[in-house]
């Protein structure tokens, strides 16, 4: 069993690679006598000469060649280990900034709970704004990760679906359409609607669906809050279209009915998004891993209504 130290191996590797004691000393930020001493100790441990100096030139002996071939790969492996340790230490502290669309406020804070418990030293900032604002923040690279239902087509991004995002048509529980089956889109389009503001992903999706059928919606009221829309719908002001994430598991608790409308529910996903060329922080990577490992275990319903 040879007793060699990591420091001796690093010094030897540098001398062998650079063919020079002085350049190895410079690279390792030590003096030349220190390099000479490390090499001498290493040769004593191995029991054979590793380096020969003829004139000013440095040559590796056969044992030196063998050691050089071995320690290159080994030092690389060790470097990766050191990086992993640094990363793990990084996860103990750090900051995670997520910009997320309004509608995700029903599950994102809940989802962050177990992540915070796993990494208590991490500070999390959750910016809850509508889709347009999230896109602005994405374009300015203001956050680590972005969550939305309709990722942009015109930016070079990575998008990863992680949860279901289902859109349903809602009416007051005592609305004449409540409980009817097979309601057509044309019928629904004749009703007044309470819609999210322009710039919201929900609004964008709803308008696309009706436009594709050559229909337009009559908008009685625009509201920037899903909660306010639910209240307005429950109060009989009109129909609404919202993500199922905004409702209790039993919509009757919200005093609304989910209508059976042609083409609905619309099944979509929530995506976590980031610029393709972004170097994700260790903390952001940890959060992504967490999403990938845990979210499919937590159904959308459990998150929304727990």
Q: Under the rule (CB under 6 A), what is the footprint of ligand PGA?
A: 101-103, 130-131, 148-150, 165, 196, 200-202, 243
- Considering beta carbons, is residue 14 or 223 the nearer one to ligand PGA? 223
Cβ-based nearer residue to ligand PGA, 105 or 180: 105
Q: Which is nearer to ligand PGA, 149 or 240 (CB)?
A: 149
The conformational region for residue 240 under phi > 0 = left, psi -120 to 50 = alpha, else beta, is beta
Give the nearer residue to ligand PGA in terms of CB position, either 87 or 207.
207
Comparing CB distances to ligand PGA, the nearer of 38 and 104 is: 104
Name 219's bridge partners: 193
Nearer to ligand PGA among residue 229 and residue 257 (C-beta): 229
Question: What is the torsional sign of CA 169, 172, 177, 179?
Answer: positive
Q: C-beta of 231: minimal distance to ligand PGA in Å?
A: 17
Structure tokens at 80: 């990766």
**For residue 262, what are the CA distances in angstroms to 127, 186, 199, 210, 297?**
35, 9, 25, 11, 30
Q: How far is the CB of 5 from ligand PGA (least distance, A)?
A: 56
* Least CB distance to ligand PGA at residue 176 (A): 28
Angle CA 222–223–228, to nearest 5: 135
Answer for the pair 181, 262: CB distance below 8 angstroms, yes or no.
no
Sign of CA dihedral 252, 255, 261, 265: negative
**Conformation bin of residue 187: beta by default, left when phi > 0, alpha when psi is -120 to 50:** alpha
Q: How far is the CB of 225 from ligand PGA (least distance, A)?
A: 10
Contact 288, 145 (CB under 8 A): yes
Tell me how far, at minimum, the Cβ of 128 lies from ligand PGA, in Å: 9
Cα separation, 282 vs 64, whole angstroms = 38
Between residues 16 and 101, which has the closer beta carbon with respect to ligand PGA?
Answer: 101
Residue in this structure with the two tokens 């669309």, named with its chain if needed: 101
Closest CB to ligand PGA among residues 23, 133: 133
CA dist list (Å): 146 to 222, 227, 278: 25, 22, 12
Q: Least distance (Å) from ligand PGA to the CB of residue 227? A: 12
Report the nearest approach of ligand PGA to the CB of residue 71 (Å). 53
Find the shortest distance in angstroms from Cβ 188 to ligand PGA: 19
| Residue least distant from ligand PGA (Cβ) | 201
Q: Where are the beta strands (DSSP E) in 43-201?
A: 51-54, 57-60, 94-101, 122-129, 145-148, 157-172, 192-196
């Amino acid at each position: 069993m040879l007793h060699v130290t990591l420091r001796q191996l690093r010094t030897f590797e540098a001398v062998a690679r650079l063919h020079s004691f002085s350049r190895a000393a410079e690279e390792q930020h030590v003096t030349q006598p220190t390099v000479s001493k490390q090499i001498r100790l290493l040769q004593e441990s191995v029991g054979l000469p590793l380096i020969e100096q003829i004139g000013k030139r440095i040559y590796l002996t056969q044992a030196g060649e063998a050691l050089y071939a071995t320690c290159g790969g080994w030092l690389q492996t060790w470097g990766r280990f050191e990086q992993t340790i640094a990363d793990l230490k990084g996860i103990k502290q750090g900051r995670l900034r997520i910009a997320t669309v309004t509608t995700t406020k029903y599950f994102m804070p809940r989802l962050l709970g177990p992540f915070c418990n796993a990494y208590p030293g991490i500070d999390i900032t959750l910016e809850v704004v509508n889709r347009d604002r999230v896109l602005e923040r994405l374009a300015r690279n203001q956050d680590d990760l972005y969550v939305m239902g309709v990722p942009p087509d015109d930016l070079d991004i990575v998008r990863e679906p992680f949860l279901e995002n289902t859109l349903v048509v809602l009416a007051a529980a005592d609305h004449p359409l409540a409980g009817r089956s097979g309601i057509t889109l044309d019928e629904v389009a004749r009703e007044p609607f309470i819609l999210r503001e322009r710039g919201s992903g929900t609004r964008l999706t709803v308008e696309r669906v009706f436009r594709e059928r050559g229909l337009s919606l009559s908008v009685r009221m625009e509201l920037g809050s899903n909660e306010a829309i639910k209240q307005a719908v429950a109060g009989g002001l009109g129909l609404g279209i919202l993500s199922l994430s905004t409702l209790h598991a039993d919509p009757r608790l919200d005093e609304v009915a989910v209508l059976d409308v042609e083409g609905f529910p619309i099944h979509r996903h929530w995506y976590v998004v980031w610029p393709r060329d972004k170097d994700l922080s260790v903390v952001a990577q940890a959060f992504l891993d967490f999403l990938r490992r845990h979210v499919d275990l937590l159904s959308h319903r459990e998150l929304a209504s727990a």
